[in-house]
Amino acid sequence: MTSSSDFDQKINNQQKQIKQLTEIGLALSAEKNISKLLEMIVDKARDFSNADAGTLYAVDDDKLHLSFEIIQNDSIGNKITLPKVPLYINGRPNHSNVSSYTAFTGETINIPDVYESSGFDFTGPRKYDATTGYRSKSMLVIPMKNHENDIIGVLQLLNAKNVKTDEVVSFSTKHVNLIASLASQATVALTNTQLIQDLKNLFYSFIKSIATAIDEKSPYTGGHIRRVVFLAMMIAKEINKSHDGPFKDIYFNEDEIEELRLAAWMHDVGKITTPEHVVDKSTKLEAICDRIFLIETRFYLIASLIKNRYLKQKIEDQDLGDELKMLYNELDFIKACNKTKEFMNDDKIKRIKYIAKKTYSLNNEEHYYLTEDEVKNLCVRRGTLTMEERKIVENHAEMTLKILKQISFPKKLANVPKYAASHHEKLDGSGYPSGLTAKEMPFQSRIIAVADIFEALTAKDRPYKKPMKLSSAVKIMECMKKDKHIDPDIYDLFIKKRLFYDYAKKEMISEQ
């Protein structure tokens, strides 16, 4: 007959166990790091049963193996490497191994002594014992089922010990029930964490697919976004290492690093709205095609008209030759101006306008040598874009903000749109789209800006310029620093820690 004190003790123990399970459940649900969560599951299971060792297996994505995720052993340490357990042998379910048997059947297996058990093949534990000098005895194997009743893992405990004598004993029914309850709670927490991670992976895959689509939209900028992400992460990690200087009080935690990484991935998403012929404009006259060919055809027509005029008027051949030579020289000059190698100074612009005003007659109508739009494009002083086209390109930053604001980012990633859209802002307020000043420009956007500019300067795949040498890119960025276009502290870190050189070795060709 049970005494009152024994009954009270039993009630107290049960209340204590319920409290423990509740606390463990809260702890498990709060842990979002899967590795730490798995460690916690094995820790708590061993605590309940006073087990000397514990192992947690996870079913591989291919559903063909059980992988050792966590191995703990107080007697011989945790630095143990074990092979995967096959779920199938010769195409048939592996029921000889106790862990794979549990994974298939969902049964809990409680074995007092593995050396005296004949139901399973314990060659593995015996080999393990022979190698380590350990003695495997009592074993408890419990399945971990998710909400769809699928086995996602197996929890295996080894060598339960008597609390008072430290003697290895069998796992009691009480231990089995408690650990089964723990395994159930743990599976819920693990499934939720995996679902969150899966959603995060899906989100990242979606983000990267958009970034890839933007890069692939232009055959000349493939890899730009990836390289900007790489550079931004290099800078952020170096800032985290700084214990003095301007960054001594700045440290990006895991969530902030993720926020910056996503912003870097998405910084050019607005380019999805930018016409390809503007993004890829490699010559001044390029639109859907390079219109220099139209001018060439026109000039050859003019040459034919000149020849016909000379034939009709019976003028000396020498005069014809001189006039054709001048015409072809003008065509060569226009073709040279169409490319972007040289700056268009005032004299060149004056000559373009002079040529443009010359006329030829066709079908009794007078026509100018060059159209108004051709003149405007040819007179672009540097690069290939007119003011109107440059505004179209610059609009991508504002479109980035509009597009990203439509995405319901979680709280910890709420600043992604702002960081991504501000990478073309400048400290002196002359940037776009909002003309932010140094006080207004986010620090993360400054990092992306340095990464974006350096990648653009050193890119080896742009059609409108030769690959720039590293020394030239550094000089240009030095000027941008002096002009307060980029953050001087971030730039100095980029140079002093030789991040620019580390990047160059990985991404630039030797000629640069």
Residue 109's DSSP bridge partners are 141
Q: Is residue 118 scored above 70 in pLDDT?
A: yes
Alpha-carbon gap, residue 207 to 230, rounded angstroms: 15
Distance CA 304, CA 301 (A): 5
Secondary structure of 433-444 in HEC code, one letter for each residue: CCCCECCCCCHH
In a domain, 512, yes or no: no
363 shares a domain with 442: no
Which of 352, 384, 416 finishes a domain?
384
Tokens 């191995």, residue located: 71
Are 186 and 62 contained in the same domain? Answer: yes
Query: Is residue 389 within 8 Å of residue 281, measured between CB atoms?
Result: yes
Highest mean pLDDT (candidates 3-17, 77-91, 379-393, 490-504): 490-504
Domain assignment present for residue 124? The answer is: yes
Q: What is the pLDDT at residue 315?
A: 61
- Residue 299 in any domain: the answer is yes
**Domain annotation covers residue 182:** yes
* pLDDT recorded at residue 342: 74
pLDDT of 12 > 70? The answer is no
Residues above pLDDT 90, as percent of the chain: 51
Task: Give the domain CATH number at 233.
Answer: 1.10.3210.10
Q: Once rounded to an integer, what is the mean pLDDT over residues 468-483?
A: 93
Residues 325 and 463 in one domain: no
* The two structure tokens encoding residue 340: 């972007």
pLDDT tens-place string over residues 131-160: 888 899 999 999 988 878 888 889 999 999
Is residue 299 domain-shared with residue 330, that is, in the same domain?
yes
pLDDT at 219: 60
Q: What is residue 62's predicted lDDT score, i.e. its pLDDT?
A: 85
For the residues 268-285, what does the mean pLDDT come to?
Answer: 84
Query: pLDDT value at position 27?
Result: 61
Mark whether 239 and 356 lie in a shared domain: no
Q: Where are the beta strands (DSSP E) in 43-170?
A: 51-59, 65-73, 85-86, 88-89, 92-93, 109-111, 139-145, 151-161, 168-169
pLDDT tens, residue by residue, 34-92: 777 778 888 888 888 899 999 998 888 888 999 888 888 888 876 677 788 999 999 99
pLDDT digits (tens, 9 = 90+) for 193-204: 778 888 888 888
pLDDT band at 261 (very low <50, low <70, confident <90, very high): very high
User: What's the average model confidence in pLDDT over 447-476?
Assistant: 87
pLDDT at residue 155, as a whole number: 93
- How much is the pLDDT for 374? 95
Mean pLDDT to the nearest integer, 253-281: 89
Last residue of a domain, one of 384, 401, 424: 384
Q: Give the CATH number of the domain where residue 151 resides.
A: 3.30.450.40
Q: Could you tell me which residue, 24 or 295, shows the higher pLDDT?
A: 295
- Is 287 inside a domain boundary? no
Angle formed by the axes of helices 443-458 and 470-482, to 10°? 140
**Residue 24 pLDDT class (50, 70, 90 cuts):** low
Domain residues for 429?
218-275+391-507
Q: Check residues 209 and 354 and name the one with the higher pLDDT.
A: 354
Q: Pull the structure tokens for residue 204.
A: 């990242």
Question: Is residue 491 pLDDT above 80, yes or no?
Answer: yes
Please say if the pLDDT value at position 21 is more than 70.
no
Asked whether the predicted pLDDT for residue 385 surpasses 60, the reply is yes
pLDDT tens digits along 312-349: 776 666 788 889 999 999 999 999 999 877 789 999 99
* Mean pLDDT, all residues of the chain: 87
One domain, residues 380 and 441: no
Q: What is the spatial distance between Cα 476 and Cα 491, in angstroms, rounded to a whole number?
A: 12
Instruction: State whether 127 and 230 are in the same domain.
Output: no
Residues 364 and 413 in one domain: no
Whether omega for the bond prior to residue 442 falls within 30 degrees of 0, making it cis, is: no
Q: 190 phi and psi, to 5 degrees?
A: -65, -40
- Six-digit token string for 411: 């709280």
Instruction: Report d(CA 20, CA 234) in Å as an integer.
Output: 44
Query: What is the rounded average pLDDT of the residues 231-248?
Result: 94
Q: Output the pLDDT for position 9.
A: 58
Domain boundary residue among 384, 409, 426? 384
Q: Are residues 423 and 320 in the same domain?
A: no
Please check whether residues 374 and 482 belong to one and the same domain. no
pLDDT digits (tens, 9 = 90+) for 221-235: 668 889 999 999 999
> Mean pLDDT throughout 398-427?
93
Residue 281 lies in a domain: no
pLDDT at 316: 64
162-180: pLDDT as tens digits: 988 989 999 988 888 888 8
Residue 157 shares a structural domain with residue 223: no
Flag the least confident range among 24-38, 122-136, 490-504: 24-38
How many separate domains does the chain show?
3
Residue 371 shares a structural domain with residue 463: no
The set of residues, in sequence order, having a beta carbon less than 8 Å from that of 358 and lying 6+ positions away, is 368, 369
For residue 7, pLDDT beyond 60:
no
Residue 155 domain-assigned (yes or no): yes
Collapsing DSSP states into helix, strand and coil, what is residue 458?
A: helix
- pLDDT for residue 464: 58
407 DSSP 8-state letter: S
The mean pLDDT of 293-297, rounded to a whole number, is 94
Average pLDDT over residues 430-435: 94
pLDDT the model gives residue 32: 63
H or E element in which residue 368 lies: strand 365-368
Query: Do the domain assignments include residue 379?
Result: yes
The answer to whether 284 touches 387, Cβ cutoff 8 Å, is no
Integer Cα distance of 408 and 234 in angstroms: 28
